[in-house]
Amino acid sequence: MMSSGASRAMMLLLAVQLCFRPMGAEQEAGTVIPAESRPCVDCHAFEFMQRALQDLKKTAFNLDSRTESLVLRAEQRALCDCMPGTTLR
């Protein structure tokens, strides 16, 4: 015997399956929808990934140039700390 929780879950699953039956279910199984009427999901995904890659490249470039300027500043400070102020004039 099934518990009442399991039978409720089965009834809910059956109801969901009936509600979300594909539109046009009267079509034969295995028929192909023409490409002209389908959205180009792959194209949109490719464009999205291409934009994301461009954003990542910009971010990497900005981080790289920021890191380089920070390293140069640190090297300059290290040099200035080693030399007395009178020698720099």
Position 54 scores a pLDDT of: 93
Position 89 scores a pLDDT of: 55
Position 17 scores a pLDDT of: 65
Which amino acid is it at 12? L
Two structure tokens written together for 67? 């890191």
d(C-alpha 19, C-alpha 15), whole Å: 6
Cα dihedral across residues 30, 33, 38, 44: positive or negative: positive
pLDDT per position in the chain (89 positions), as tens? 556 667 777 777 766 666 565 555 554 567 777 766 666 667 778 888 899 999 999 999 999 999 999 999 998 888 887 766 555 55
